[in-house]
Amino acid sequence: MDTAHILQFVDEVLSAKTGKHLNDLQRGIIDGILKRQKYSDIADTYGCTAGHAKDVGYKLLQMLSDVFDEPVDKYNLKSVLERQLNLNINFGDRNNNTHFGHSNTINYINGCSELPNSTPDKSRSETPDFQDSTNQVKIEMVGKLRQLGLKDEQIAEVLGLALEVVKSL
């Protein structure tokens, strides 16, 4: 993961959701956490006290928790950012730049070696618990995708659900 790319991503997401941009200390805190630095080391670099850096870091992580809708702390920041970047919900402009706010394109990374199959594989036996948790995640995503401005038809296609199911939620 390229730190500059990560900082740009976080700044754009924060700006899109809160109207605020990262300041230098916040950028340094993200960079420092990813490098497993202590707040005292980050503070030395930015000419502030360790307590101030820790307070700013705490508020920043809380803000990221709200923006990404999942708990974020200094121990899971890297994995949360990787997950969010891999989801890559891109609201880019028509030139596919990374500026948020204009279109509703959803990209995803397929970690499987095979191409996705649009019809379910009947030979695969999934446990009811796995199916229930998968369906629950999809159901939770419907509301989030609607908030992002996607139409029910787009949501059904992205999540692989029947249109009638999406409309009923």
- pLDDT (tens digit, 9 = 90+) per residue, 64-82? 999 999 999 999 999 999 8
Query: Which pLDDT score, from 0 to 100, does residue 42 have?
Result: 95
Report the C-alpha gap between 6 and 1 in whole angstroms.
7
Tally Cβ neighbours within 10 Å of residue 44: 14
In this prediction the pTM is 0.54
Residuewise pLDDT in 10s, the chain (169 residues)? 688 999 999 999 999 998 999 999 999 999 999 999 999 999 999 999 999 999 999 999 999 999 999 999 999 999 999 888 887 544 443 334 444 443 344 444 444 444 444 444 444 444 455 455 566 777 778 887 788 788 888 887 777 888 888 888 8
168: Cβ contacts below 8 Å, ≥ 6 apart: none
Query: Which pLDDT score, from 0 to 100, does residue 149 have?
Result: 80
Query: Which pLDDT score, from 0 to 100, does residue 135 have?
Result: 66
Query: Which pLDDT score, from 0 to 100, does residue 98 have?
Result: 43
Q: Which runs of consecutive H residues, i.e. helices, occur in the chain?
A: 3-18, 24-34, 39-46, 50-68, 77-87, 128-147, 152-159, 163-168
CA dihedral (5, 7, 11, 13) positive or negative: positive
Query: Which pLDDT score, from 0 to 100, does residue 23 have?
Result: 95
For 89, half-sphere exposure in the C-beta direction (CA atoms, 13 angstrom radius) is 18
Tally Cβ neighbours within 10 Å of residue 83: 12
Query: Which pLDDT score, from 0 to 100, does residue 79 have?
Result: 92
Q: Burial of 61 by CB count in 10 Å (0-12 exposed, 13-18 middle, 19+ buried)? A: buried
Tally Cβ neighbours within 10 Å of residue 23: 12
Amino acid at 89: I
